[in-house]
Amino acid sequence: MKKIFILPLILSVFIFSCQVEKPSKKDMDQLYKIETEYGNMIFKLYDATPLHKENFTKLIEQGYFDDLLFHRVINKFMIQGGDPDSRNAEPGVMLGEGGPGYTIPAEFIDTIFHKKGVIAAARQGDDVNPEMRSAGSQFYIAQGYVFTDEDVEKVEDRINASRLNKLVTKYIDEAKNVAFETGGIIDYEVILPEARKKAEEKFKEEGYFKLPDFKRQVYQTVGGIPHLDNAYTVFGEVIEGLDVIDKIAAVETDENDRPIKDVKMRIIKL
């Protein structure tokens, strides 16, 4: 089985600090607590992502997360946990493949994005998971750092390059399918430039991606992980204990990003 994870940071990646908001009376019925030896984090789950909220609530009520580890930690990126195989795991064992045996449909909401402190679902990669379905129990909490104008531009360039490459791949696959169906010969010296030309024309038609102003402002003041937006479902938010994220993210880790000293969790409903 392939490991369930979020894509690692590539050199200049992104993250940030989140303002603590006072929970409303409505939110008070939806608060949960992650207990760790580094302190506690109070969080809420979003009504806008009902499938993930229902699933996470069910697992918490079952005590599913008790004594599980934050098994993958990358400073200035995120802390990840929720693998049932991490309970009582031997030191140094690579983790990240466990789960409850099911996945959840993606729930992407454009106004819910990767600011510091959000809780999002890990998942398998696009090559085996083109629908971007979420893992049943593994999740991560965004850390990150505050972005500059240059950082934001790099993110936009990266996203646009990815869009263009996906279009090129799409048109290459279409040309190959036509060749197979007609019994023709696949001439990559012809297919590649044609696919590239079609992709560039489509890319210009769709327009260059730019971060919306409301996201840009948050990423440049609070911080976040913008390159993960609309790729991993965000379904909750830490509203108290953001410093605990930083403490856990700073622990010593091995070559697999697993903390040398286990970081256990317990999640309860308040």
| pLDDT tens string 108-161 | 999 999 999 999 999 999 889 999 999 999 999 999 999 999 999 999 999 999
pTM comes to 0.82
Nearest by Cα to 199 from 154, 169, 244, 240? 169
Q: Which residue, chain included where needed, has tokens 């911080």?
A: 223
Domain ranges of the chain: 25-146+221-269, 152-206
Asked if the model's pLDDT at residue 18 lies above 80, the reply is no
Cα separation, 243 vs 110, in Å, equals 26
Mean pLDDT of 229-249: 96
| pLDDT tens string 36-75 | 999 999 999 999 999 999 999 999 999 999 999 999 999 9
Query: SS3 of 81, please?
Result: strand
Q: Which amino acid would we find at residue 90?
A: E
Cα separation, 34 vs 266, in Å, equals 6
Give the model's confidence band at 184: pLDDT under 50 very low, under 70 low, under 90 confident, else very high: confident
Q: What is the CATH number of domain 25-146+221-269?
A: 2.40.100.10
Give the model's confidence band at 183: pLDDT under 50 very low, under 70 low, under 90 confident, else very high: confident
Query: SS3 of 233, please?
Result: coil
